[in-house]
Chain A
Amino acid sequence: EVQLVESGGTLVKPGGSLRLSCAASGFTFNNAWMTWVRQAPGKGLEWVARIKSKSDGGTKDYAAPVRGRFTISRDDSESTVYLQMNSLRSEDTAVYYCTLDLGRWGQGTLVSISS
């Protein structure tokens, strides 16, 4: 059974940093493309970042609002994908979902940015 478990969400001050983790199981992680999606309170879904498998080049893509501030990475030995978030802003407040190429979704982790 595919499982995606996000962790790391918390309250952070503007300008701060945070790293989210997503532990994956139930599938061959090193072949998977992993995508982070977020949802601000009461708002719609926003595609954030994607990392391809190493065999597909390991390419990383970012949405414009997070490019240059967020970094997606993966540790295939730990079946974990990360989202390093720097220079956080109030508009980054959201539930962050880890997905297996948008097919399977985790339950999300809440990131709140406030002073």
Chain B
Amino acid sequence: QTVVTQEPSLTVSPGGTVTLTCASSTGAVTSDYDPNWFQQKPGQAPRALTYNTNKKHSWTPARFSGSLLGGKAALILSNVQPEDEADYYCLLYYGGLGVFGTGTKVTVL
């Protein structure tokens, strides 16, 4: 059973920077896992942020960046805004099957 692990919660100040990570139980995450990141606010459907490790959708704010960091996928939020408070999920692909991460609740305080 493959497990994709994220930090349960992170707190950041407005205007600050926070890094969310996404680790695989199978070992180091590489671009071959096609990391994707999603944002979900209460009562709403998830919204895609990044794919193929670091590609942004047309609607993704510039302050969101995807990357690989220390064997994990990462989502870096810069110049954090109050509206960035949400749950964030990563997804990795294993042989064509997607597995979502456990999710990170980001609080802007």
A residues whose Cβ falls under 8 Å from a Cβ of B: 35, 37, 44-47, 50, 59, 61-64, 97, 102-108
Query: How far apart are A68's CB and chain B's nearest CB, in angstroms?
Result: 14
Question: Which residue on chain B has the smallest CB distance to residue A6?
Answer: B45
Question: Do the beta carbons of A102 and B97 come within 8 Å of each other?
Answer: no
- B61 at the A interface (CB under 8 A): no
Given contacts A47-B99, A61-B97, A97-B46, contact A102 B89 (CB under 8 A): no
List chain B residues, Cβ under 8 A from A105: 45-48
List chain B residues, Cβ under 8 A from A37: 46, 100
Question: Do the beta carbons of A44 and B100 come within 8 Å of each other?
Answer: yes
Question: Which residue on chain A has the smallest CB distance to residue B103?
Answer: A44
Question: Do the beta carbons of B97 and A45 come within 8 Å of each other?
Answer: no
Q: Provide 18 A-B residue pairs closer than 8 Å at the C-beta atoms, listed in order of the A residue.
A: A37-B100, A44-B100, A45-B91, A47-B91, A47-B97, A47-B98, A50-B96, A61-B97, A97-B45, A102-B36, A102-B48, A102-B51, A102-B98, A103-B51, A103-B57, A104-B48, A105-B46, A105-B48
> With A45-B91, A63-B98, A102-B48 given, can you name 17 additional A-B contacts, CB distance below 8 Å?
A35-B98, A37-B100, A44-B102, A46-B100, A47-B91, A47-B98, A47-B99, A47-B100, A50-B98, A61-B96, A62-B97, A63-B97, A97-B45, A104-B48, A105-B45, A105-B46, A105-B48
* Chain B contact patch, size range: 20 to 34
Q: How far is the CA of A50 from the CA of B91 in the complex (A)?
A: 14
Q: How far is the CA of A51 from the CA of B46 in the complex (A)?
A: 20
Within 8 A of A (CB), among B85-108: 89, 91, 96-103
Question: Do the beta carbons of A45 and B45 come within 8 Å of each other?
Answer: no
List chain B residues, Cβ under 8 A from A35: 98
Query: How far apart are A72's CB and chain B's nearest CB, in angstroms?
Result: 13
List chain B residues, Cβ under 8 A from A47: 91, 97-100
Q: How far is the CA of A37 from the CA of B89 in the complex (A)?
A: 13
- B38 at the A interface (CB under 8 A): yes
Query: How far apart are A56's CB and chain B's nearest CB, in angstroms?
Result: 12
Q: How far is the CA of A104 from the CA of B51 in the complex (A)?
A: 12
